[in-house]
Amino acid sequence: MIEFLSALDQIMSVAHLAYLITGVLVGLVVGIIPGLGGIAGMSLLLPFLYGMEPSVGLGMLMGLVAVIPTGDTFTSVLMGIPGSSSSQATVMDGFPLAKKGQAARALSAAFLSSMIGGVVGAIVLSVFILVARPIVLAFSSAELFMLTLLGLSVVAALSGANVFKGLAACGFGLLIGAIGGAPATGEFRFTLGIDYLYDGVPLVVVGLGIFALPEIISLLVQNRAIASSPNKLGHGLKQGFKDVFANLPLVGKSSVFGSLIGAIPGLGGSVVDWMTYSFAINSSKDTSQFGKGEIRGVIAPESANNACASGSMIPTILFGVPGSGSAAVFLGGMLLLGIQPGVSMISTHLDLTYTIIWSLALANILGAMFCILFTRPISLLTYIKFSVLTPIILTLILFAAYQATRSLGDFLLLGVVAAIGVMMKGANWPRPAFLIGFVLSSGAENYFFQSIQFYGYSWFTRPGVIIIAALIIVGFVLPPILKKKKLKEKPEQLKDENEDTHVKTVSWADWAIIATLAISGTYALIDIWDSSTLTKAFPIIAIAIVLLSVIMVIRGYIKEPHKKIAASLTPNLVYILGFFVIAYCYYLFGFISTTFVFSLLFLRFIAAATYVKSTTIAVCLVIFLVTIGKVMNVDFPEGIFDPYLLGTINRFI
Amino acid sequence: MKKISKIIGASVLTFGCLMALPAKTLAAEVPSTINWTIPFGVGGGTDVWARFIAPNLTKNISGNPTVVIKNQPGGGSITGTNLFYKRAKGNGEDILGTSASTLFPFMLGDQRVRYNFDKWIPLMASPTGGVVYIQPEFGVSSADDIAKLDGVTLPFGSQSPTGLELPVFLAFEMLDLDIKPVFGMKSRGAGRLAFERGEAKIDFQTSSAYMNSVVDLVQNNKAVPLFSLGILNNEGNIVRDPAFPDLPTFEEVYAKKFGKAPSGMEYKAYRKFLAAGFAFQKVIFIPADTPSDIISEYQKGIQKMLKDPAFIKDSKVQIGPYQNVMGIDAAQYLNDAITVSPEMYSWISNWLKTKFDYNL
């Protein structure tokens, strides 16, 4: 208790507050710019960090780590680009809300729920940290495997009308996630002999390709502003707050759930938002608006991801095993400050631990306040004609993708995934199901293998395993029963809705996806056939899911009459081709010089902006890139021209 | 007269300048910014090591250059090291920090490796040690009771057959321990967590991780240390680890159990990978075509750093009580450590195949 209060006293000192706010501001910037994670933030704070008083340094780091999932909401909602992996679910409804002209509402709701989530997370952390050790140790590889299954079970909720499409997409995600070294043997699978694929496929690139690029391309094809009804901005802010208060139970549940999932090392923050998102769907009376701009779809993941950041501090502090990417950064920072994580953080350094927790709560509050302050001016961005924003967004996306492994492969893969994403979007295949499969792939395989190795086949008799299995079954069985009950009570209303979603159509895009899945499934099967059992066991499960689901989908098309429609995706696919060309130019000629030339030409001749406007935007982009490259120590493809360009710029500074 | 003196003065001045100019360029300086490539992500062991050393380099190298750490994760350090091999400029601007997982794939002929150590000179190497420990449930209180473990299957959480644990696996095998490896641990820390959960029965940690996370377990009777890997002394012999003077080395335990010193190809391979993975665990490299006076500036700076009392004090905490190796010694030993004879290579690849069903 004394430590609790002395830590409060400590963080209220002017020095601590000042550094905390610095951390928060850096964290927000890092969160807003997609692709920058804790790495960039660390490199920015590091010069100050080294040799600093540990409690003050911790405050600054905590400020940074805590608000990354707050700041990234801006890009998720306004541009449809996940600012970081923990905001991918926010895009699902946040971006449609922005398209409806309710960006301010989505943002303010997101920030308020982020704040509540963060504070709840801090409270859970402060109580839990004292008793957490045995609980965290109780989660063995068997329970962790069941948790990944729990994560996969949300695919059902995210799949919408056609479950087999969802399963096929999810299986495909599992398969793509299996590219690279097999965890059990280290043997390489599906690498096609390409160096880039040996390490597996980066999450950032898949996220951007499957969600962001298809959205952006379809907006570009329509070429209007992101939002079409500006009049609603007026009361958007207040409406967002009201939404949060109207959904307080959802906020509370998501926050507690988020912080508990975060506390388990190995599951990671990138699924918790999807799990709470599907939870929001399952617990809603009316699910028709999800994916089209349902505010609950923003509130749930946003409460969860900040809480998850707090929760992931538990294994980091107690065991020195980071629970998430940003926790890894925090761990590195702790070591640099000369603080060793471990049991001693509770026995002898309890004051420091509480400094971390207080800073966490305060950072969440400050971060959300700063964001709310800027919500209105920033959300006005959505009323600009989209073609004007295109070069900026494209630069951000390429920039973000390139930070994954810093090779041309990032660009190429982005284009390939985007092509699949465009078709999935056009034919209404559930993209989240694909992403969930992808994210959980390595964990599912790893923990399954480990639990069998450690426990033999008795692992499923463990009480923890049985409890989680029961949860999964309840999750599957309960919603249909409730729906049936509702159908009995109010048959009319639900029937209408059902008929709406039951207009069955099939287009060439469907067939293209089916062909892609079938071909890659078959190829994968041939590729893996001769490998050792442990290498091929998991991929074969994934392949089986893909191929069987594809067969079921085709069977559905044959059995029930589907209306044949022509998916008008041709312009979108032309843009994808264009994307490959542009991306290669970015790589070949240099990122910064191509940004300048491309933006200038695009704005002037395609967006038909004035020369003055085009030049201004292009110059601003260059300034932004040069600054960020310098200050945050970020790399760009150098290409042919950039060295000269940077040399010239350096001479003038 | 005045004019002439002016002309002479001007000529002298010009001449002087011309003389001074090449003199200045000849005495090459370490650039004001050094890019230090770390082929790992932020917050990992090598990253923290580099971030600990970087400000000390700045302090001790003449001109106090800014050291910028460039993380280039991927491929377990192979990606970043390949890029460095391809791109690094030999003007003193670029240096590289490596770890055991950079050396092992090279020694094992991993097909992804595009680098070679012929283009680089090691500036400094930081060694580390490691400790093997087991669950207390087997009634073993020290390595003296190791015979009690005969016939007991010991699950061991490991990253991969060719990771840092490779020599440890060899040690286990020589001691006739029945180890059941469970691969796919994301880090040694994850392996330790499996041990703390009771899933793994035996575990191994490098010195600093052991001191920070396992000593507490030992004190609370949740772990029993068996032996340390020891360290290589200047004569190339393995001696007790100064961080764990009370723990026997692997060699001592082996001698006690079997009444003779370990020998044969298995032990040779153990020594080889122990040297590469632990004696040279972290190395700073510089491209060999860097001008020699820049290299010597670096060497002077590092020498100064290693003598700096503040650095010595901090590095005990950060790296362990080990002597950092530098200069010619490092180059010589490193070269020995990473050269694998064809005979040993085929032995190792055969061993990996039969033991772990792993194809090199």
Distance, CA of B251 to CA of B265 (rounded, Å): 15
- The answer, for A541 touching chain B at a CB cutoff of 8 Å, is no
Distance from CA of B122 to the nearest CA of A (A): 25
**Which is nearest to A463 in space by CA: A143, A42, A151?**
A143
Cα-based distances in Å from A448 to A184, A452, A455, A465:
10, 6, 11, 12
Find which of A279-288, A505-514, A625-634, B128-137 is predicted with most confidence, using mean pLDDT. B128-137
The reply to whether A46 touches chain B by the CB within 8 Å rule is yes
Chains A and B form CB pairs within 8 A to the count of 127
List CB contacts of A594: < 8 A, sequence separation 6 or more: A582, A585, A586, A639
Please tell me the predicted confidence (pLDDT) of residue B349.
94
A308, A268 in Cβ contact below 8 A? Answer: no
In single-letter form, the type of residue at position B227 comes to: F
For chain B, positions 193-252, list CB contacts with chain A under 8 A. Answer: 193-194, 196-200, 209, 212-213, 216
Q: Which of residues 175-204 of A touch B (CB under 8 A)?
A: 181, 183-187, 195, 198-199
By C-alpha distance, the chain B residue nearest A140 is: B197
Please report the pLDDT score of residue B200 as a whole number: 95
Query: In sequence order, what are the residues at sequence separation of 6 or more whose Cβ sits closer than 8 angstroms to the Cβ of residue A87?
Result: A69, A72, A73, A75, A76, A273, A301, A302, A305
The conformation of residue A337, written as its DSSP 8-state character, comes to T
Give CA A330 to chain center in angstroms. 19
Q: Buried b vs exposed e over A402-428: b needs ≥16 C-beta within 10 Å?
A: bbbbbbbbbbbbbbebbbbbbbbbbbb
Least confident range from A28-42, A110-124, A456-470: namely A28-42
Residues in chain B with CB shorter than 8 Å from the CB of A336 are 48, 51-52
**3-state secondary structure (DSSP) of residue B323:** coil
Q: In degrees rounded to 5, what are phi and psi of residue B99? A: -135, 180
pLDDT of residue A500: 47
Burial code (b: 16+ CB inside 10 Å, e: under 16) for A89-128 equals bbbbbbbbbbbbbbbbbbbbbbbbbbbbbbbbbbbbbbeb
* Cβ neighbours of A326 (radius 10 Å): 32
- What is the pLDDT, as a whole number, of residue A224? 77
| pLDDT at res. B17 | 45
Question: Half-sphere exposure (CA, 13 Å, Cβ side) for B85?
Answer: 17
Measured CA to CA, the distance from residue A599 to residue A621 in angstroms comes to: 9
What's the mean pLDDT in A517-525? 94
| pLDDT for the residue B9 | 52
Tell me: pLDDT of A499 over 60: no
Please give the pLDDT value at position A117: 94
Q: pLDDT (tens digit, 9 = 90+) per residue, A239-298?
A: 999 999 999 999 999 999 999 888 887 776 778 888 899 889 888 888 888 888 899 999
Q: What is the pTM of this model?
A: 0.87
Q: Which amino acid is at A209?
A: G
Cα separation, A443 vs A452, whole angstroms: 14
b/e map B18-57, b = 16+ CB within 10 Å: eeeeeeeeeebebbeebbbbbbbbbbbbbbbbbbbbbbbb
**CB B212 to CB A342 under 8 A?**
yes
Are the beta carbons of A116 and A101 closer than 8 angstroms?
no
Of the candidates A409, A396, A418, the one whose C-alpha atom is nearest the C-alpha of residue A572 is: A418
Tens-digit pLDDT profile for residues A146-187: 999 988 988 888 887 788 999 999 999 999 999 988 888 778
Q: Is the pLDDT of residue A358 over 80?
A: yes
Instruction: Kindly write down the DSSP assignment for every residue of A592-612, as one continuous string.
Output: HHHHHHHHHHIIIIIS---HH
User: A266 touching B, CB under 8 A?
Assistant: yes
- Residue A56 parent element (H or E): helix A54-79
Residue B82 φ then ψ, to 5°? -55, -45
Average pLDDT of A417-433? 92
Q: What is the pLDDT of residues B109-121, one digit of tens each?
A: 988 899 998 889 9
Portion 469-498 of A in contact with B at CB < 8 A: none
Residues of chain B with pLDDT under 50: 1, 12-26
The predicted pLDDT at position A345 comes to 85
Q: Would you call B189 and A266 a contact, using CB atoms and an 8 Å cutoff?
A: no
Report the gap between the CA of B235 and the closest CA in chain A (Å). Answer: 33
In this structure, the number of other CB atoms found within 10 A of the CB of residue B318 comes to 17
Residue type, A100: K
CB contact at 8 A, B88 and B56: no
Contacts of B52 in chain A (CB under 8 A): 336
> Tens digits of per-residue pLDDT, A189-230?
898 888 888 888 988 899 899 988 998 888 888 877 787 766
Residue in chain B closest to A634 (alpha carbons) equals B70
What's the rounded Cα separation, in Å, for the pair A322 and A329? 8
**Considering only CA atoms, which of A291, A265, A264 is closest in space to residue A280?**
A291
For residues B162 and B104, the answer to whether their CB atoms sit within 8 Å is yes
Asked if pLDDT for residue A494 goes beyond 60, the answer is no
This model of the complex carries an ipTM of 0.84
